[in-house]
Amino acid sequence: MEPSGTAEAATLLAQARRLVVFTGAGMSAESGVPTFRDALTGLWEQFDPRALATPEAFRADPALVWGWYEWRRGAVRRAEPNPGHRAVAVMAARVPETVVVTQNVDDLHERAGSAAPIHLHGSLFAPRCSACAEPAPVPGAGEEPGEGRRLTPPRCGRCEAPVRPGVVWFGEALPEQAFEAAVEAAYRCDVLLTVGTSGLVYPAAEIPQVAARRGGTVIQVNPEETPLDAVCAVNLHGRAARVLPALVRGAWGDAAAPA
């Protein structure tokens, strides 16, 4: 049984000329990548993930924070894109202009076939120097620590400062070009599909609001209510890996749906 509103949302998608798909951690939840609301286990169970994702946490205990990110990169490497990620790639192939804007630091959209998603909060695969920003090599697959392991970060090859994850922490500015491109796409789109985000973290949460203010139709996929309900024309209370393929089938027929 699909959530009510699925048929209406599918019709809106089929008619869309300029689509923005805006995603958060719930998009990757069914690939086994935990959201920020899920409790941590092991060494990190006493921490709120949102407290580890700060420059202060890294300064206070670089091995704790680096170990957490290295473990997460390993988990993402072992994860596979889910049917929701694949449905997003189908949408991009069907709608004349599609921009995928993600807050996620994984690479599951890319691996599902979305060519160049805009990463608002950086990437697990782009470590850099914490002092001079020199890009650092990505440790090889299989070199990640097990769950709950501290790991001293490597040193920068240029200035010897500790290497940090290439992600955006609380209190840090978003990459300027990425944020501008996302705002521009939201400004121009006729439909924005927001998937699996709590809509609590700014300035990313402005993206659906920009689309709504400019007259775009906002469709939300999330099992829970969020502050973005207020700007949504259609709210689909369900899980991404099920609802997004259903939207593709409703918009373009069974043959279009991802495997």
Least distance CB 102 / ligand BJW (angstroms): 8
Nearer to ligand BJW, 134 or 170 (CB): 170
Q: Should residue 245 be labelled a site residue for ligand BJW when binding is judged by CB under 6 A?
A: no
Q: Should residue 129 be labelled a site residue for Zn ion when binding is judged by CB under 5 A?
A: yes
Nearer to ligand BJW, 30 or 144 (CB): 30
155 binds, among ligand BJW, Zn ion, none (CB under 5 to 8 A by kind): none
Least distance CB 60 / Zn ion (angstroms): 20
Residue list 190-229, contact with ligand BJW (CB under 6 A): 196-198, 200-203, 221-224, 226
User: Known catalytic residue: 85?
Assistant: no
Q: Which residues contact 72 (CB under 8 A, 6 or more apart)?
A: 33, 124
Nearer to ligand BJW, 51 or 159 (CB): 51
Given 13, 20, 25, 185, the residue binding ligand BJW (CB under 6 A):
25
Least distance CB 159 / Zn ion (angstroms): 3
Q: Should residue 155 be labelled a site residue for Zn ion when binding is judged by CB under 5 A?
A: no
> Which residue among the candidates 85, 119, 121, 237 is catalytic per the annotation?
121
DSSP string for the chain: -PPTTHHHHHHHHHH-SEEEEEE-THHHHTTT---TTSPP-GGGGGS-HHHHSSHHHHHH-HHHHHHHHHHHHHHHHH----HHHHHHHHHHHHSSEEEEEE---S-HHHHTT-S--EETTB-TT--EETTT--B-PPPPTT-SPPTT---PPPBPTTT-PBEE-SBPPTTSPPPHHHHHHHHHHHHH-SEEEEES--S-STTTTHHHHHHHHTTPEEEEE-SS--GGGGG-SEEE-S-HHHHHHHHHHHHH-GGGS--
Q: Which residues contact 60 (CB under 8 A, 6 or more apart)?
A: none
Q: Should residue 157 be labelled a site residue for Zn ion when binding is judged by CB under 5 A?
A: no
The CA distance from 115 to 244, in Å, is 18
The CA distance from 125 to 165, in Å, is 8
54 binds, among Zn ion, ligand BJW, none (CB under 5 to 8 A by kind): none
Least distance CB 26 / ligand BJW (angstroms): 2
Nearer to ligand BJW, 6 or 18 (CB): 6
Residue list 61-100, contact with ligand BJW (CB under 6 A): none
Given 240, 247, 248, 251, the residue binding ligand BJW (CB under 6 A):
240
User: What are the residues binding Zn ion (CB under 5 A)?
Assistant: 129, 131-132, 134, 156, 158-159, 161
User: What are the residues binding ligand BJW (CB under 6 A)?
Assistant: 24-26, 29-30, 35-37, 50, 53, 103, 105, 121, 167-173, 196-198, 200-203, 221-224, 226, 239-240
